[in-house]
Amino acid sequence: MVPTKGQRRLIDLGAGVYAVSEVCRILQPTMTPRKVHYWLDTGLLSDPVRWGSRGHPTLLSYRQLLEIRTVQQLRDELEFSLPRVRDALLWVLEHLFAREWSDLRFAKGVDGSLVAHSGTDQIVVPGGQGVLEGTLPELNEQVAETRRAWEEQAFVIPGHAFIVSNARILAGTPTIRGTRVDTALIARFAETETFDEETLDEIKQVYPRLANDAIAAALEFEGIHRAA
């Protein structure tokens, strides 16, 4: 049964579970709670694990994290008007997370329109005439990456190659790739908003197998930057 507002559903053990604030942290800097709640309230996204109520935050699944990322890419990077492309976005999300994958991709139509294809199905994306040909390979790679992230249940956080959200590890909390080390835990070693080699050495004493680049990436992700 699909949960409605005020209803809850059981959370699968080992599944990613995200508060809206955590989703925004992962998809920084352009994602905001207001956007997420608007997309949820208007039915653009699939239903959350739990609708929020007083004292209980809205909880999202790993799939919703990837859905939000997909909408973010189309809206922010291609500058589409969300109301105009709503039906196309719903179509894209349906096919992107379908049980049977049919190589979803975008291409230019004969009239210059932007067309999304999945197997023998296709839909014209309104307002897509302004999309440049050179943008399509990047867009198709983003779609393919999202599908891989869905199948593998692990998502490399954009702009942070060493940092992942793995639905099977710590409920999706951002961790250093290939480990169970929480980035927020790494951040506690920094006493200020910057770090230096001494900070890295201190962390290495506790986590000797972590590479300096990975540690630095975790600190950067948490908003702690290398000292000048």
Model confidence at 113: pLDDT above 90: no
Q: How far apart are CA 107 and CA 128, in angstroms?
A: 10
Residue 13 — very low, low, confident or very high, per pLDDT cuts 50/70/90? Answer: very low
Q: How far apart are CA 202 and CA 168, in angstroms?
A: 28
Q: How far apart are CA 189 and CA 166, in angstroms?
A: 23
Q: List the one residue out of 198, 155, 150, 159 whose CA is nearest residue 174.
A: 155
pLDDT in tens, 57-99: 999 999 999 999 999 988 876 777 788 889 999 999 999 999 9
Sketch the domain layout of the chain as residue ranges.
17-156, 163-226
CA distances from 160 to 47, 129, 137, 227 (A): 28, 32, 21, 19
Average pLDDT, stretch 116-144?
Answer: 87
pLDDT at residue 130 in the model:
74
Residue 6 — very low, low, confident or very high, per pLDDT cuts 50/70/90? Answer: very low
How is residue 8 annotated by DSSP?
A: B
Q: How far apart are CA 180 and CA 91, in angstroms?
A: 35
Tokens 């080699």 label which residue? 197
With beta carbons less than 8 A apart as the criterion, state whether 71 and 81 touch.
no
Instruction: Give percent of the chain above pLDDT 70.
Output: 93
Residue 12 — very low, low, confident or very high, per pLDDT cuts 50/70/90? Answer: low
29, two tokens: 């800097």
pLDDT at residue 218 in the model:
96
Q: How far apart are CA 192 and CA 35, in angstroms?
A: 31
Give the CA radius of gyration of the chain: 19
Average pLDDT, stretch 157-178?
Answer: 94
With beta carbons less than 8 A apart as the criterion, state whether 131 and 115 touch.
no
Residue 111 — very low, low, confident or very high, per pLDDT cuts 50/70/90? Answer: confident
With beta carbons less than 8 A apart as the criterion, state whether 112 and 129 touch.
yes
106, two tokens: 């975008």
pLDDT at residue 5 in the model:
53
Mean pLDDT of the chain: 89
pLDDT in tens, 178-208: 999 999 999 999 988 999 999 999 999 999 9
pLDDT at residue 150 in the model:
95
Q: Span 163-226: which CATH code?
A: 1.10.10
Q: What is the DSSP string of 88-126?
A: HHHHHHHHHT-SS----EEEE-TTS-EEEEETTEEEEET
Longest dimension (CA), the chain: 61
